[in-house]
């Protein structure tokens, strides 16, 4: 794992914010062997790959990212907007799996 040497372990621990657990994310996980994470806005693909490999002890094949624009919302004070977010679609190598339903040890 030479990728973890390239980046500080402290930075890699902060890159992944949360897994996306929804119907669509579950369908993608079953069909394409991918896992979806919310990540920092300034995270790069190599950083995301290194973070997933470090935290979950799996091998990552590829990473695709999507920048999502925040929705505009009307409030009592006028128009507001939710924050922009970034999602990472992490494709795992065949035979690899991340299970979020297990209890943490």
Strand extents, DSSP E, 1-105: 16-19, 34-39, 60-68, 72-75, 78-81, 85-92
- Mean pLDDT is lowest, of 4-13, 49-58, 65-74, for 4-13
103 in any annotated domain: no
Confidence of residue 32 (pLDDT cuts 50, 70, 90): confident
CA distance 55 to 48: 11
The CA-CA-CA angle for residues 54, 15, 88, to 5°, reads 90
50 in any annotated domain: yes
7 in any annotated domain: yes
100 in any annotated domain: no
Q: What is the extent of the structural domain holding 83?
A: 3-92
104 in any annotated domain: no
Q: What is the mean pLDDT of the chain?
A: 87
CATH of the domain at 44: 3.30.70.330
84 in any annotated domain: yes
37 in any annotated domain: yes
CA distance 45 to 90: 9
- What total number of domains does the chain contain? 1
- Burial class of 19 by CB neighbour count within 10 A (0 to 12, 13 to 18, 19+): middle
Per-residue pLDDT of 44-64, as tens digits, reads 999 999 999 999 999 999 999
pLDDT at 88 over 50: yes
20 in any annotated domain: yes
């Amino acid at each position: 794992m030479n990728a973890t040497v390239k980046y500080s372990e402290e930075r890699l621990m902060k890159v992944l914010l949360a897994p996306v657990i929804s119907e669509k994310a579950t369908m993608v996980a079953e069909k394409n062997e991918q896992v979806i994470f919310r990540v920092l806005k300034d995270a790069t693909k190599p950083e995301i790959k290194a973070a997933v490999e470090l935290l979950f002890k799996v091998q990552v094949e590829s990473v695709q990212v999507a920048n999502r624009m925040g929705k505009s919302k009307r409030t009592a004070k006028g128009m507001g907007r939710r924050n922009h977010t970034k999602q990472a679609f992490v494709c795992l190598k065949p035979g690899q799996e991340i299970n979020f339903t297990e209890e943490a040890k």
